[in-house]
Structure 1
């Protein structure tokens, strides 16, 4: 039975949130409130929240400004990096324009060097991210988080106490848990909604400044969707696809559409759109709140980590819990860490989980949409 949606306006509201926030960010700025921009899930937004700042994801998912970026950056660089820099350089991203500071991070060499160029025309605070998930790394990143706290405290002329950080942690934990509970609805078979509707909520939530209000909104949406499902309204039964790999958003939404326009349904996002960003909580009752924040963020299973055990752990759990029939691994061109990891992911999915795997490499253009649809359609037909 196809879902008879009574909630389309809610999902579209999340889809339009980025545009709405373009206006909100100016209002926030006009009120004298600070704004901190970031690009990565390793950014500890609890610290910015404790400083009274709005934390916002910056524009980085369109090919609109890549040509301008390539005047300074190599053409054979990851499109996410080129897009990030291009929007910043051309002032076509209102979030970047109004940000008081951009928090960068040493996830990969390309981003690290790009932040050097960006710092020539914007204040950039650079987080030195360890590339291993050890106890020593936790302490190293803890020190970086405290360094960020001290920087924001001085820049915005505000006191940031441990209790303020702890309270921000409680608020952010609740928002993340609400989002996790919401996309957990996709464990149902058939699913209550489409994977694209789930994506609208997850992606749109990154542009909402008020994390407390976000939690309430998502909790209500989850309850309403659950009620609709119990009433017999749901998405039609289809092959269930789990997406992993590079961040999805903007131009790469074509991957989601390729799945759902060719007979499948995306039941989960293991990448930065979903589980990586939301799936782990900070221990808000820990004696050392900064160590707890460090431990939470370093647990993210990104391919920049060596070894990257947590990505496989997350995939293992999600494939089982979401009853995935197949895994689609999306890699952006020139993203070397994810590209190198694809063979290990393929073996894990095929041999240990016993389900089919498909890797697609793409960029931010629409030139490969036909080929992408052909490959994904064949994969789903096989399922």
Structure 2
């Protein structure tokens, strides 16, 4: 990526990364590179990367295949699960089609059961994710990471060395540092870019099979933004919004658009494609690399954990560091863990942090855009 490119072009390049990767994945497949399809932020990418595999995100964010999924799955199920299953069943997702292996984790009940049906189409390896971040939970997760490594060695007839795992950890950490540097530019007030443009880079980067290219590309964008900000190029001063809740992407980017079309600016994302997946690094200077990977991934504050103090810790820190004026929580219909946890999030934001909070429940259709605009416009006006 050249620095001389205009920033809007660069943002669009990342926005189109998912489509571009369709071709890239086929090329890798033709070269014999193993393809591992993944669903969740808890997936320890470094283990698959260590054997030279390309990892691709399979979580689908379109309502296109939901009718097909509803032939097998209940209608009152989370749209992310139905969409993901639908793209697999209809063979409309190139990532799923070309994957040699699909890895799931026992996060929510809907996903767990959906993985059983997915195994009709592909080899599915399900990792047992503990639902508590305790010492026993950590030991279970470390054992699962080692079990996954041994499964890869057996399935692909390879040996994965500790040195290869450490190399993969270094590559992933460098990518996280670069992405964190980019999103931390939003601490500036006024903001240097729209939240929609920041999100294009954060979300688009998850579809880059070659993770080693991320640092240079993202640092080039950050350099350019810093330079232009120093020259006086920035957004207007607007109410600063933090977005939290379920994974955002594709159809649900309508929530970001509604915020920024109605007078706000999203300065930080706590969701899976935002700070939650980048905030912490794997400790590279450790004797036990499996323990370090297990600690880093299990510390992610998702609503499937009970209790879930790490989410509140990150949320509070982001609110302070980004001088947030209000919090918008996006919850997918029938996502029970985030729906139930929203009461605790509202109390934390309102009572402990003294800031306004609104939750919006939505799905992958575009039918509620008018209602979203009305509610979010009223919330921002109140700020």
* Residue matched to 2:256: 256
Aligned to 2:104: 104
Deviation, structure 1 residue 217: 0.6
Give the SS at the match of 1:293.
helix
List structure 1 segments (4+ residues) > 4 angstroms apart after TM superposition.
Answer: none
Q: Which residue of 2 aligns with 1:232?
A: 232
- Are 1:59 and 1:95, in contact at CA under 8 Å, matched by a contact in 2? no
Q: TM-score, normalised by structure 2?
A: 0.98
Alpha-carbon contact 1:59-1:96 (below 8 Å) kept: no
Q: Secondary structure at the match of 2:56?
A: strand
Structure 1 residues 301-336: Cα deviation after superposition (integer angstroms, max 9, x where no partner):
000000000000000100000110000011000000
CA contact (8 A) 1:268 1:322 kept: yes
What SS does structure 1 have at the residue aligned with 2:77? coil
Matched, 1:149 2:149: yes
Is residue 283 of structure 1 aligned with residue 283 of structure 2?
Answer: yes
Contact map agreement 1:301 1:309 (CA 8 A) in 2: yes
Contact 2:259 2:376 in 1 (8 A): yes
Secondary structure at 1:206 match in 2: helix
- Assess if the C-alpha contact under 8 Å between 2:59 and 2:80 holds in 1: no
Pairwise CA distance, 1:59: 4.4
User: What is the rounded CA distance, in whole Å, between the counterparts of 2:153 and 2:228 in structure 1?
Assistant: 46
What per-residue deviation string (whole Å, max 9, x for no partner) do you get for residues 221-244 of structure 1? Answer: 111111111110001111000000
Q: Which residue of 2 is the match for residue 31 of structure 1?
A: 31
Mapped partners of 2:7, 2:267: distance in 1: 19
The size of the alignment, in residue pairs, is 379
TM-score, length-scaled by structure 1:
0.98
Supply the distance in 2 between the matched residues of 1:370 and 1:31 (Cα, whole angstroms). Answer: 47
CA contact (8 A) 2:35 2:54 kept: yes
Paired residues of 1:105 and 1:129 also in contact (CA < 8 A):
yes
In structure 1, how many angstroms separate the alpha carbons of the residues matched to 2:158 and 2:285?
Answer: 24
Distance 1:350 1:173 in 2: 34
Q: Within 1, Cα distance between the matches of 2:43 and 2:17?
A: 21
Structure 2 match to 1:78: 78
CA distance in 1, matches of 2:208, 2:14: 9
Q: Please, what is the CA RMSD of the aligned residues?
A: 0.8
Q: Does 1:125 align with 2:125?
A: yes
For residue 58 of structure 1, what is the aligned residue in structure 2?
A: 58
Q: Which deviates the most, 245-254 or 157-166?
A: 157-166
Return the alpha-carbon distance in structure 1 between the equivalents of residues 137 and 167 of structure 2. 25
Measure how far apart 1:6 and its partner are.
3.7
1:156 CA displacement: 1.6
Counterparts of 1:275 and 1:287, CA distance in 2: 27
Gap regions ≥5 residues in structure 2: none
Equivalent-residue separation in structure 2 for 1:342 and 1:170 (angstroms) = 35
Distance 2:153 2:194 in 1: 43
